[in-house]
Structure 1
Amino acid sequence: MRTETYTVVDGEGRVVEIVDDYLALCTDREHSPNTLRARAFDLKVWLVFLQLLEVDLLTASPEHVDQFAGWLRRPVQPGRLRPADADGPAREPSTVNRALNSVYMFYEFLARRGVGMGAQLAHRRATSTGDHGGFLAGIAERQVTRRPTRLKQVERRPGFHRFTNT
């Protein structure tokens, strides 16, 4: 069985060790090749964004994650204006949310190591009526973790094909 893995390198061609450790963990947990590729790509884009802001990977804050979400929708160099009628790559909310999820999971990985902002990225709230609680729901109070930055997505229905006999 062939195991596919990915490595993220910085602008000078050096392996970003801490990201490499995270991707190795994802590989060990047998994430699909598509998931691994997406995580590597998303974290590379995150590093590019942080480099534009001149912010270190380990000193990034939740505010930077919020800015990242906006930047993914309308990429522009810091300190520059973007014309309102400018066409250009604007990612779909689902793509932005996938990238944000990659960043969140990476910082959760770092939080388990006692590094970075992982604990600041998750907000806890009490459970509410619509939350799935499972078999023992209501026996003990519990909290739900939610991520603060997430774009609203339009739910898509699966398409269908009509076949006709000719």
Structure 2
Amino acid sequence: MAYKTIHFPFLFWPKKGMCDSDTYQSARRIISEKHGEMPTLIPDDFDMADFFKNTPDAILYYPIFSNAPGWWGELLGGQAKVCEKIILNKDCLLMVITKDQPSEVKDQNKLFVAEIFPTPGFFKKIAGIGVSVSDMLATESGTILALFLGKNQSKFQNFIESSGNFYLGCVGAY
């Protein structure tokens, strides 16, 4: 799928989320207030890596519904980074995604991804270094792909690797 090279905001809104028109309209209104124009709607069949390859300066607004685990998997390998999150309501967050990582601020929250083999005490130890679990997905191989929230990337990466797990990267900061 080819995209126009423009800098305007884009909104990905899945068809299954269209039934909640209040949340959809709220997202469009917030984006319009922020940019001075309505966002371009992205279809369901879009590929995030391809999208940012063709529109590197785009700002993508991506809704995360409370029953949608694993949304962040699309960010891996695509050079896409979460740079802000907007709470639309109790069931939906709007993630603001750009191609380049935003400039880092010392106390910025970061989103880390790791493939882990959970052992007794793992989650207690990870909490001890100031990191919390945001989302997890079980894999067929028995591992867990997990999204973590924390501030110190090197401390997190060292902990993950020293515990025999695999650090996969930072997918954003806000």
TM-score, length-scaled by structure 1: 0.29
Larger Rg computed on CA atoms = 1
TM-score, length-scaled by structure 2: 0.28
Q: If each structure's strand is expressed as a fraction of its own residues, which one has the higher value? A: 2
Q: Which has the higher contact order (CA 8 A, sep 6+)?
A: 2
